[in-house]
Structure 1
Amino acid sequence: MAHQAHSYHMVDPSPWPIFGAAAALLTTSG
C-alpha cells in the first residue's frame, strides 16, 4: 500500500481519479 501511495504521489493525480470513476462505473454497471 505504501508503494501505491508513493506512485500516486509521483504520478499526476489527474488520470487516477478518472480511472477510479471508470472502475466504479464498470463495477456498478457490470
Structure 2
Amino acid sequence: MSNLQIGLMIVTVIVVFAVVNFYWDYLRDRD
C-alpha cells in the first residue's frame, strides 16, 4: 500500500465520519 492510498483512506474515513455526525445531529434536531 502506497502513502497516497493510506492518505486517501484516512481522508475518506474522516469525510464519512463528518457526514454521519452531521446527519445524526440533523435527525436529532428534527425530532
Normalising by structure 1, report the TM-score.
Answer: 0.57
Query: Identity, % of aligned pairs?
Result: 0
Structure 2 residue ranges without an equivalent (≥5):
24-31
Judging by fraction of residues, say which structure has more helix.
2
Aligned positions, number? 22
Q: What is the RMSD of the two structures over their aligned residues, measured on CA atoms?
A: 1.8
Higher relative contact order (CA 8 A, sep 6+): 1
Question: Rg: which structure is higher?
Answer: 2
TM-score computed with the length of structure 2 as normaliser: 0.56
Which of structure 1's runs of 4+ aligned residues deviate more than 6 A?
none
